[in-house]
Chain A
Amino acid sequence: MTPTLAGLPLTAVVPPLAAINWHSFFFLLFASIACGFAVAVVTATNVVRMALYLVLSLAATAGLFLLAGAEFVGAMQLMIYVGGTLVLLVFGVMLTAQAPFVSIATSGGDRVLAGVVGAALLGALLMAGLSVPAWRAPASGKLAEPAATPLGMALVGVRVDEPAANAPEKAVRPGYLLPFEIISIHLLVVLVGAAYLARAKRRKTPRAIDVAASVEPPASVAEHAAIGRGPAGAGSVLAGGPALTGGPR
């Protein structure tokens, strides 16, 4: 049974829509958004607008990942990069808060230097990308079922998706446990270091210079600073400006 609309078969009414390859359409859409806003980041002069363009560019990249069926990577992109830009934005606003809407002008020499470095990086990446034989072959159309479980299993050390070749049935290849742990320890060290550097300093014997400048902060402010300078990233957002974020108390 062919459904009709105004006497014509439905497929005859909407051939232009049906003819479009929607996958390519969305790929081009997201790719052009990502590239366009990446250029806008470079050309913009206001730090908050730059951050906005960066977020849009990164979000479009996340859209590309989602389009490719890599939902976990796409969500990760949103969580880490876009969320990270958020913190960047907060710092940007705080550092330029003395004079609002400061415009940052780039000198000509910087532009040339940045262009050279960027082109070199792009060239290196393209060469590296094109040198992988598997990436040059046309897509086989065979998609792995997207699932987060194999990824999680691989992170805790078991590759359930790719058993080792020539291995007995039960044996599985080791996963990414070691790199995962190395990164975890690295992050932990960074967090501890940040907390140590930003902690509220208390001295038992005040030095002369401290006594000279000793306007003892009220207990609540010191406590607030201690909390604000905690290791949780967002806490350090506060650390730069307790007066700003504290507001009228």
Chain B
Amino acid sequence: MVDFLTSLGLSGLLAWTIAAIVSAVLVLNVIAGGALAFIWAERKVSARIQDRLGPTRTGGRFGWLQSVADGIKLLAKEDLMPEGADGLLFRLAPYVSFCASFCAFIALPFAFDVVGQRLNVAVFFVVAVLGLEVFGVILAGYASASKWSLFGAMREAAQVVSYEVPLGMCVVVPVMLAGSMDMVTIGEKQAGWFWNWYLFHDPFTFVVFWVYVTCAVASVNRAPFDLAEAESELVAGFHTEYSGLRWSYFFMAEYGSMFLVSAMAAVLFLGGWNGPIPVATLVGLSEGTGDTAPYLVRLLGLANLIGKASLGVIIMMWIRWTLPRLRIDQVMTTCLKYCTPIAAVMFAGAMLWQIILPGGLMPGVGRPGGEIREGWLEGPGGRAAVKPVAEGEKVARATREATP
């Protein structure tokens, strides 16, 4: 895109800025549009699980427009603030939450190279930024001057900070297998049939995936870990005092984070934009051939990733409406006594598996590019043009020697 803008005669940095704005608007729409769709889905899923019908009349047979009606209602609501509240923090908190959720999307690849900003440390960046979302929640809980809000915020803080530990351990396993923290590289290393996915890489990664799912659900505060807004005890937890549009920002942040952790699970464990069956490769399309083929392949990848991430969100809804809420001590037990040790042992196991069986159980079934590391994508050939790291080093060393 930058190349295209530069070819129009714009200066490099201006082209970068315009490209950045376009990416940001697209990501914003992923969150906002996603929230609309997922709130509708949440209503329908919860209704089905509880043997109801859910919305049936707003906008046709399936209640498609229910979320839009919700949005209009929220816009029209009176914006209240408690008298004793800290006005600045109270107003700021929803945007802090939303911005954290939004920023994490910048580094998330939606298909091969379809990414806001391809970061070398994308995985780390996403985990770091995702942890900031709780900051808005704490500010909201504190600034509301309500004990229910403060209780909710404290619980959330304790929970999210604890669950970052096992979550980080789970995320490290695919990073170790791929030898890179670049999410595009990690996704691309799982190309091919579904048995190339890191979920099926070895027994340890299979277990780690489920630990990741647990920790991801906990880190986005979904039931059964939604102590921060336990409505049976805390009214509505940290957003008790919020109404109208500000409240909806919290919800957009929550659904954005749900989509984000699901997309991350897809990229790290479920092959990312590579479908279970490599349709594009079987048909003969590749990222490098022809004019339209790269776009078609990426569109297919986009559909794959969004499909997987949406499935993840639906599963979170299924869990929410099936399991009862945990107590705070049970939450901490799950984190410290189960998730963390299991993740640590599985991490060590996956490492040993890599050392003992580097080719997997079936060495004939090749994984793409055993030696691929960062900087391996050269030219339009995509994954065909593999540049091992040793060669790159030689080049770098040669240039260093050449220049006095």
Contacts and interface: CB of A to CB of B under 8 A. Distances in A.
8 contacts: A14-B10, A75-B125, A82-B128, A83-B161, A86-B157, A230-B332, A237-B157, A249-B327
Contact of A147 (B89, B150, B335, B375): B375
Nearest to A238: B158
Given A10-B10, A234-B158, A86 B125 contact: no
B162 interface: yes
A71 B119 contact: yes
A48 B328 contact: no
A21 interface: yes
A235 B332 contact: yes
B154 A241 contact: yes
Interface in A194-245: 220, 223-224, 227-228, 230, 232-235, 237-238, 241, 244-245
A94 interface: yes
A149 to B, nearest CB: 6
Given A49-B89, A79-B124, A79-B128, A90 B10 contact: no
A74 B106 CA distance: 14
Interface string B66-93: 0000000000000000001010110010
Contact of B181 (A2, A48, A55, A148): A148
Most-contacted residue by chain A among B119, B131, B157 (CB, 10 A): B157
A38 interface: no
Interface of B: 8-11, 13-14, 16-17, 84, 86, 88-89, 92, 119-121, 124-125, 127-129, 131-132, 134-135, 138-139, 142-143, 145, 150-151, 153-155, 157-159, 161-162, 164-165, 179-181, 227, 230, 233-234, 327-329, 332-333, 335-337, 340, 373-375, 389, 393, 397
Nearest to A22: B13
The A interface, classified by DSSP as helix, strand, loop or mixed, is helix
B332 A227 contact: yes
B328 A245 contact: yes
Contacts of A9: 9
Contacts of A86: 131, 134-135, 138, 157, 161
A244 B119 CA distance: 40
Contacts of A163: 397
A18 B14 contact: yes
A131 B84 CA distance: 52
A247 B157 contact: no
Contacts of B327: 249
B16 A22 contact: yes
A78 interface: yes
B106 to A, nearest CB: 10
B165 A232 contact: yes
Contacts of A230: 332, 336
A235 to B, nearest CB: 6
A-B pairs, 5 with minimum CB distance = A234-B161, A234-B162, A79-B128, A22-B13, A78-B128
A23 B13 contact: yes
A116 interface: no
A147 B336 contact: no
A25 to B, nearest CB: 9
Size category of the binding interface on chain A = 35 or more
Interface of A: 2-3, 9-11, 14, 17-18, 20-23, 46, 48-49, 52, 55, 59, 71-72, 74-76, 78-79, 82-83, 86-87, 89-90, 93-94, 97, 100-101, 145-149, 160, 163, 220, 223-224, 227-228, 230, 232-235, 237-238, 241, 244-249
B329 A233 contact: no
Contacts of A147: 120, 374-375
Most-contacted residue by chain A among B127, B129, B230 (CB, 10 A): B129
A79 B119 CA distance: 16
Given A17-B14, A18-B14, A223-B329, A75 B162 contact: no
Given A14-B14, A75-B121, A93 B155 contact: no
Contacts of B329: 220, 223-224, 227-228, 246
Nearest to A163: B397
A55 B138 CA distance: 13
Given A3-B8, A17-B14, A49-B89, A72 B121 contact: yes
Given A10-B8, A247-B234, A148 B120 contact: yes
B148 to A, nearest CB: 10
A81 to B, nearest CB: 10
Nearest to B332: A227
Given A48-B142, A244-B154, 10 more contacts: A21-B13, A75-B119, A79-B127, A82-B132, A86-B161, A90-B154, A93-B154, A101-B84, A148-B124, A237-B154
A100 B14 contact: no
Contact of B155 (A79, A87, A148, A247): A247
A110 to B, nearest CB: 24
Contact of A89 (B17, B86, B138): B138
A220 B332 CA distance: 13
B11 A18 contact: yes
Contacts of B139: 48, 52
A14 B17 CA distance: 13
B9 A10 contact: yes
Contact of A237 (B9, B84, B92, B161): B161
